Chains A and B, each alone.
Chain A
Amino acid sequence: ETGVTQSPTHLIKTRGQQVTLRCSSQSGHNTVSWYQQALGQGPQFIFQYYREEENGRGNFPPRFSGLQFPNYSSELNVNALELDDSALYLCASSTTGKGEQYFGPGTRLTVT
């Protein structure tokens, strides 16, 4: 069974740029949730994708957007990067009807 994978591991971007982060869900999982984790804080829910549609969104502006593909993998896109976007971005996969979510290793984004 393949676990959740994310790419890239680390990324450094300049304020105002755009970034795309990728996530492959665990085998058999059809739902992907994205979280932002600032240093020393708990993860904050960004949004969730199920059946290629956004299925709930946290308190994040529209410049955070996403996609889910037919193979259940997902992308997180952030436009017009701000310094406060510097964080660890985690994706978690799960299966409908089973509550547990399994996290990937994360992408560390640094905005300068």
Chain B
Amino acid sequence: QQPVQSPQAVILREGEDAVINCSSSKALYSVHWYRQKHGEAPVFLMILLKGGEQKGHDKISASFNEKKQQSSLYLTASQLSYSGTYFCGTGSNFGNEKLTFGTGTRLTIIP
């Protein structure tokens, strides 16, 4: 079943923070986060494995709560380049994963 993302859409001013949530009804082994700009391919951001691991690079980080079957993506001090649609993809087998993507969250950053 498809993970549910929230919010569906959000508009922020440059410099503001955002949190995007991804919830699954199935037990998760891994969560993958991607950003897709209009007309382009999804770009890999990060992968998290079960165990509540938190990862991050630059001002984008994510957490994974295995018990709640949820992951959250945190965008700090957002930049114009962060605009796009964010998708979480859930996997059940690390290594050769077949991802089930969420419903997507459209993020718009305005100056």
Interface residue ranges, A against B (CB under 8 Å) = 31, 33, 35, 40-45, 48, 50, 55-56, 58, 90, 94, 96-106
Contact = CB atoms under 8 A, between A and B. Distances in A.
B70 to A, nearest CB: 17
Given A42-B87, A48-B96, 13 more contacts: A33-B99, A40-B104, A42-B102, A43-B99, A55-B96, A94-B97, A96-B95, A98-B95, A99-B47, A99-B97, A103-B41, A103-B42, A105-B41
A94 B41 contact: no
B92 to A, nearest CB: 10
A106 B40 CA distance: 8
Interface residues on B, range: 20 to 34
Interface SS, A side: strand
Given A48-B96, A50-B96, A99-B32, A105 B101 contact: no
Given A31-B96, A100-B32, A44 B101 contact: yes
Contact of B91 (A41, A99, A104): A99
A105 B40 contact: yes
What are the 8 A-B residue pairs with the smallest beta carbon separation, nearest first?
Answer: A42-B101, A103-B41, A56-B98, A99-B47, A45-B98, A42-B87, A43-B101, A103-B42
A99 B89 CA distance: 11
A28 to B, nearest CB: 15
B65 interface: no
B42 A43 contact: yes
B61 interface: no
Interface in B17-55: 30, 32, 34, 40-44, 47, 49
A44 B103 CA distance: 11
B2 interface: yes
A90 B91 contact: no
A33 B40 CA distance: 17
Contacts of A98: 95
Interface in B49-84: 49
A46 B49 CA distance: 23
